[in-house]
Amino acid sequence: MPQLSERGKIMPASPIRKLVPYAEDAKKRGIKVYHLNIGQPDIKTPEVAFEALKNFNVKTAEYSHSAGNESYRKGLAEYYKSVDIDLSYEDIMVTTGGSEAIIFAFMATMNPGDEVIIPEPFYTNYNGFAVEAGVKIVPVTSYIEDGFALPPISDFEKLITSKTKAVLVCNPNNPTGYLYSKEELMQVRELVLKHNLYLFADEVYREFCYDGNEHYSVMQMKGLEKNAVLFDSVSKRYSECGVRIGALISRNKDLMASALKYGQARLSPPLFGQIAAEASLKVGSEYFDEVYNEYIERRNYVINALNKIDGVVAPMPKGSFYAVISLPIEDAEDFCVWLLKDFDYNGETVMLAPAQGFYSTPDAGKTQVRLAYVLKVEDLKHSVKILEEALKVYKK
């Protein structure tokens, strides 16, 4: 039998999705499953996106420019200006989701064996992107006791070697919901300038910042024109996960020229996705106000309710729509499988993502899970009750 590549063997399975077979089996047994394991919001996609697709009247679905439609990139530049980020449309490359933006950036800036420092827990698919690009993730650990705040810069300094090429931050953070302050990010700025590194920033949850906290972008920092690289996406902003449109953004012309060559190799980003995404730029503030208020209600309910359960520790997220919480158990993955395989409460159960898959350090996060409060409050009430009852049974 022909052998798989070493890369194929070490490519990690998604901890967010690998329990799906258990959920499917539970549903076949007639169990209702509340999906808190994945960031798939139930928020309605803006109607203007669907209208644009219905009214897109062409006879041939052609390739777009490899960097994306110019009209969409110019529209994006205007959007960024509205959030105090001054860009040219030529600083923007449209990608197949934010995922492709990250892969292209890794491939354009790092050689096999190079290292990128990332605060953990981090978005688990960074692991997969790193394997694809042949680069190594070096974790710097943040802790639930601190609400997953940025680790001290001295912790970053200790990890820098001749192989270090970049630091990556996700802000607001997936999976923890932490929002890095301007002061924290300025410390990272000094670090990357001191060591001549790239600063990658995954800012796809920019609109979801709570309690009066404002988002500060790496693209607003002075002096990082050659260092700062932004990853963005319409998936969460407009609840358009299936549209698969993201963006790679940098004022570094050489980097963008290199990334474009990868874009040319895959020809072009999705045509119909760009049509929907461009139309969504017309969405007014009332859409985001409604979404914001909905997420605030969900967050406040679920975090306060979870902290009332004996032994559960749930820091209050400042952004995104995720939380990493600690449970009074020894092995969260075993618990998450058990929830789907062996437990139900009145014919219902809940699906969570074991947090260990969001860490790179062995055995870190073993008692933690990530949950996405992407369901309406009524569903969250059922989910918390199920979790509370499940913990009673599981611990016995």
The candidate with the shortest Cα–Cα distance to 298, out of 373, 388, 212, is 373
Please state, in angstroms and rounded to a whole number, the distance separating the CA atoms of residues 367 and 216: 32
Q: How many domains does the chain have?
A: 2
The candidate with the shortest Cα–Cα distance to 137, out of 359, 357, 353, is 359
192 domain residue, yes or no: yes
Are 216 and 321 in a shared domain? Answer: no
Per-residue model confidence as pLDDT tens digits over 121-146: 999 999 999 999 999 999 999 999 99
The candidate with the shortest Cα–Cα distance to 168, out of 214, 103, 222, is 103
Average pLDDT over residues 267-274: 98
What is the pLDDT, as a whole number, of residue 324?
Answer: 98
Please state, in angstroms and rounded to a whole number, the distance separating the CA atoms of residues 296 and 210: 7
What is the pLDDT, as a whole number, of residue 229?
Answer: 98
Average pLDDT over residues 353-373: 95
Please give the share of the chain, as a percent, with pLDDT higher than 70.
100
- Contact between 103 and 129 (Cβ < 8 Å): yes
Q: For residue 18, give the CATH number of its domain.
A: 3.90.1150.10
Please state, in angstroms and rounded to a whole number, the distance separating the CA atoms of residues 50 and 33: 29
Are 92 and 13 in a shared domain? Answer: no
When pLDDT is cut at 50, 70 and 90, the band that residue 306 belongs to is very high
Which of 3-12, 105-114, 156-165, 236-245 has the least mean pLDDT?
3-12
When pLDDT is cut at 50, 70 and 90, the band that residue 270 belongs to is very high
Are 21 and 78 in a shared domain? Answer: no
What is the pLDDT, as a whole number, of residue 249?
Answer: 99
Please state, in angstroms and rounded to a whole number, the distance separating the CA atoms of residues 273 and 49: 9
Are 22 and 62 in a shared domain? Answer: no
Are 237 and 335 in a shared domain? Answer: no
Task: Report CA torsion sign: 306, 312, 316, 320.
Answer: negative
The candidate with the shortest Cα–Cα distance to 166, out of 219, 107, 216, 209, is 107
Say whether pLDDT at 236 is over 80. yes
> What secondary structure does DSSP assign to 44-96, as a single string?
PPPHHHHHHHHT---SS-----TT--HHHHHHHHHHHHHTT----GGGEEEES
1 domain residue, yes or no: no
Would you call the peptide bond into 151 cis, given omega within 30 degrees of 0 as the criterion?
no
Q: For residue 79, give the CATH number of its domain.
A: 3.40.640.10
308 domain residue, yes or no: yes
| Residue range of the domain that includes 254 | 47-280
Are 30 and 92 in a shared domain? Answer: no
Are 385 and 237 in a shared domain? Answer: no
Average of per-residue pLDDT values in the chain: 97
Are 167 and 61 in a shared domain? Answer: yes
Last residue of a domain, one of 264, 280, 296: 280
Are 343 and 366 in a shared domain? Answer: yes
315 domain residue, yes or no: yes
Are 54 and 73 in a shared domain? Answer: yes
Say whether pLDDT at 208 is over 80. yes
Last residue of a domain, one of 238, 265, 280: 280
What is the pLDDT, as a whole number, of residue 266?
Answer: 97
Last residue of a domain, one of 240, 260, 280: 280
275 domain residue, yes or no: yes
389 domain residue, yes or no: yes
When pLDDT is cut at 50, 70 and 90, the band that residue 233 belongs to is very high
Say whether pLDDT at 164 is over 90. yes
Please state, in angstroms and rounded to a whole number, the distance separating the CA atoms of residues 127 and 77: 30
320 domain residue, yes or no: yes
Which of 7-21, 165-179, 250-264, 361-375 has the least mean pLDDT?
7-21
What is the pLDDT, as a whole number, of residue 197?
Answer: 98
What is the pLDDT, as a whole number, of residue 14?
Answer: 82
What is the pLDDT, as a whole number, of residue 194?
Answer: 98
Average pLDDT over residues 354-359: 94
Average pLDDT over residues 35-57: 95
80 domain residue, yes or no: yes
- Contact between 142 and 148 (Cβ < 8 Å): yes
Are 218 and 305 in a shared domain? Answer: no
Amino acid identity at 315 = P
Are 185 and 103 in a shared domain? Answer: yes
The strand pairing partners of 285, in sequence order, are none
Q: What tokens were used for 94?
A: 């449209």
What is the pLDDT, as a whole number, of residue 17?
Answer: 80
Would you call the peptide bond into 121 cis, given omega within 30 degrees of 0 as the criterion?
yes
When pLDDT is cut at 50, 70 and 90, the band that residue 157 belongs to is very high
Say whether pLDDT at 15 is over 90. no
What is the pLDDT, as a whole number, of residue 162?
Answer: 98
320/13: higher pLDDT: 320
